Structure 1
Amino acid sequence: MLMPTATRVLVCHAEPLVRRGIAATLGVDSRFDVVEQRPGDLGLYGYESPPFQVVITDLSFGIATAMQGRDGRLRRNGPTPEVLVLSHSDGELSIRSALECGVKGYLTQACQPEHLVDAVLALARGQRYLEGRVVQRLADTVAQDLPTPREIDVLRLMATGLCNKAIAAELNIAAGTVKTHVKSLLGKLDAPTRTAAADIANRRGLLDAWVENLAPPRHRRRWAMA
């Protein structure tokens, strides 16, 4: 009787301790053939023989990997590997950016080890896998409009307590334009005040520092249309 082939998994998370923990968790399971390495040349991943089926990485590197997979730069000896992100962020923009760029799985670093195993198995079967809290985050905000990139700029400055005139000076735009953005933000966030808007934005992860310019413009079109 032939034994099933182990799923080839590349672990290349940017944080060494997290990377080592992922590899250790999966390495004791005979269903996985795990390779651990630091993030490097994405173009090499598709040249492994046999190729990797799942790549586990951090948010920014995961988005880059998924986009290279879409462009065909990770494909040579077989299908493009599916990307599983393990991130400490459960912010809305982080999750949406990753999914829109082609990431198939998203876990937070607070997940249980069994969720990691389930996620890898699901992606190897061609399925998506989102941790429960990630699904809840998306469900809570799916009917709400996202702020545009410029509104996010205004929101970040507004959260520091700056008035419209000061925000206008920082962004080199008219104070009237800032006022329009603030009004739009209060509506989109269903917030009665500027302070409430900043609090809601923080809870939704809209002010996550690394989200800015995380995805290229073509993957932010829906933001600009909001």
Structure 2
Amino acid sequence: MQPHTLNVHIMHADPVMTAGLRVILGDHADFSVSTHAVCPHALSMAHVIVADYQGGIAAARQMPQDRYSPAPRVLIVTQFDKEWEVRMAMDSGVHGYLLQGCSADELVKATRSLSQGLRHLSESVTRCVADSLSRESLTGRETDVLRLLAQGCCNKSIARELGIGVGTVKTHVKGLMSKLDATARTHAVVVATQRGLIGPSQGLMRRPVNGFHNAALQ
């Protein structure tokens, strides 16, 4: 293998996407492209991993932190474009983030950039991250309260569901409304939905009250 060869390992969960990625990247002579379904052991030699959203996050979190043996760089190609989705991926150690539908040239450019130790985000993703960094993030508990507000729950119901006092609920509501620059509870839900912090009809996943929060919404 020549020193300049770039080993790209595709771990995308979508077989059609995998086929397309393989064709595009494999069209470049300096790329050695492998797919996880056919050649899983090639992962150990990869410089760049191209994956779907969940697979990319899992791969990034499992990479060893060894400065003497650099870990592969992770590039996600996905349709997920919500603020919290992008931020969770970046916080997990993902190095590149492209949206499905990007051009073949951008895919190749992103792969090369990651191999050089750089980051690459789609333009719309870059704007999303920049906008989110300019705003104060909701805490995990504020997000829990917000999602219950979206279900139409009153303060007493929220307090009962989360195992906290009504006064504490009021404090969280006041805090999240301030962070969302909302003028009313329903306005806060609308703003949060527009920003992708909660889905249009997303409710709180029922779970025992134990102090832990959904990792994707922290």
TM class by shorter-chain length?
A: 0.7 to 0.9
Whole-angstrom distance in 2 between the partners of 1:22 and 1:159: 39
Letter in 1 for 2:152: G
Alignment: residue pair count: 206
- AA paired with 1:101? S
The 8 Å contact of residues 65 and 71 in structure 2, kept in 1 or not, is answered as: no
Aligned partner of residue 102 in structure 1, secondary structure: coil
Question: 5+ unaligned residues in a row in structure 1: which ranges?
Answer: 215-219
Q: How big is each residue's C-alpha offset from its partner over 1:131-188, in whole Å with a ceiling of 9 and x where there is no partner?
A: 1001111122222110011111111121122222222222222222211111100001
Q: Structure 2: state its 5+ residue gaps.
A: 203-212
Give 1:217's aligned residue: none
Structure 2 equivalent of residue 62 of structure 1: 56
2-structure distance, mates of 1:163, 1:45: 54
- Alpha-carbon distance in structure 2 between the residues aligned to 1:112 and 1:212: 33
2:99 is aligned, of 108, 114, 132, to: 108
Q: Secondary structure at the match of 2:8?
A: strand
Q: Which residue of 2 aligns with 1:191?
A: 182
2:50·2:75 contact (CA, 8 Å) conserved in 1?
yes
Q: Is the 8 A contact 1:86 1:108 kept in 2?
A: yes
- Asked whether the equivalents of residues 53 and 124 of structure 1 are also in contact (C-alpha less than 8 Å), the reply is yes
Whether contact under 8 Å (2:74, 2:95) holds in the other structure is yes
The match for 2:73 among 54, 79, 82 is 82
**Residue 5 of structure 2 aligns with which residue?**
6
> Are the equivalent residues in 2 in contact too, given 1:107–1:116 (CA < 8 A)?
yes
SS in 1 for 2:156: helix
Which residue of 1 is the match for residue 138 of structure 2? 147
Q: Which residue identity is paired with 1:19?
A: T
SS of residue matched to 2:9 = strand
**Segments of 4+ moved more than 6 angstroms:** none
Indicate the percent of aligned positions where both proteins have the same amino acid: 40
Which shifted more, 182-191 or 105-114?
A: 105-114
1:57–1:212 CA distance, 2 compared to 1 (3 A): farther
1:44-78 deviation digits (Å, cap 9, x = unpaired): 6663xxx1100011222222211222445xx99x5
Alignment of 1:135-174 (within 5 A): 135-174=126-165
**Is the alpha carbon distance of 1:16 and 1:160 closer, same or farther for their aligned partners in structure 2, counting shifts above 3 Å?**
farther
Match of 1:20 in 2: 19
Amino acid of the structure 1 residue aligned with 2:71: T
Moved more, 22-31 or 188-197: 22-31
TM-score by length of 1: 0.80
Give the alignment's TM-score, normalised by structure 2: 0.83
Letter in 1 for 2:11: C
Q: Does 1:175 align with 2:166?
A: yes
Q: Which residue of 1 aligns with 2:215?
A: 213
Q: Secondary structure at the match of 2:46?
A: coil
Mapped to 1, the partners of 2:58 and 2:97 lie a distance apart of 15
RMSD across aligned positions (CA): 2.8
The CA distance in 2 between the partners of 1:198 and 1:63, in whole Å, is 28
| 8 Å CA contact 1:46, 1:80 repeated in 2 | no
Q: Which amino acid aligns with 2:173?
A: V
